[in-house]
Amino acid sequence: MQLEKLISVNSNFQLQWEEAQNCYVLLYPEGMVQLSQSAGEIMYLCDQKNTIHTIVQLLEDKFNVVGLQNDVVEFVIDAMQRKWLVYDEK
């Protein structure tokens, strides 16, 4: 896992807040994935400006906790396998 590379939502998907469901969803041509609160928080920060390391720091600061790196990395690995997230090649 490359913690210092920029990461973003795959351009084949669209992340958006769904007010009716009170959560983030990931839209794609064949359907929609309703994200858990933690998945939505991580995906929201995958904006071509943050690295995984930065995302961990931002979430730990926001929720006033420590030790989120393993959970974030585990989610990112899963999301990359599902093609939801990609490393930004810029």
- For the chain, the structural domain boundaries read 6-83
- Pick from 37, 43, 44, 32: nearest CA to 76: 43
d(CA 45, CA 86): 13
Q: Which fold has domain 6-83?
A: Arc Repressor Mutant, subunit A (1.10.10)
d(CA 54, CA 16): 21
Q: pLDDT truncated to tens, each residue of the chain (90 aa)?
A: 687 899 999 999 999 999 999 999 999 999 999 999 999 999 999 999 999 999 999 999 999 999 999 999 999 999 999 999 999 875
What does each C-alpha distance from 40 to 7, 22, 61, 89, 90 come to in angstroms? 15, 11, 16, 23, 24
Q: Name the pTM for this structure.
A: 0.91
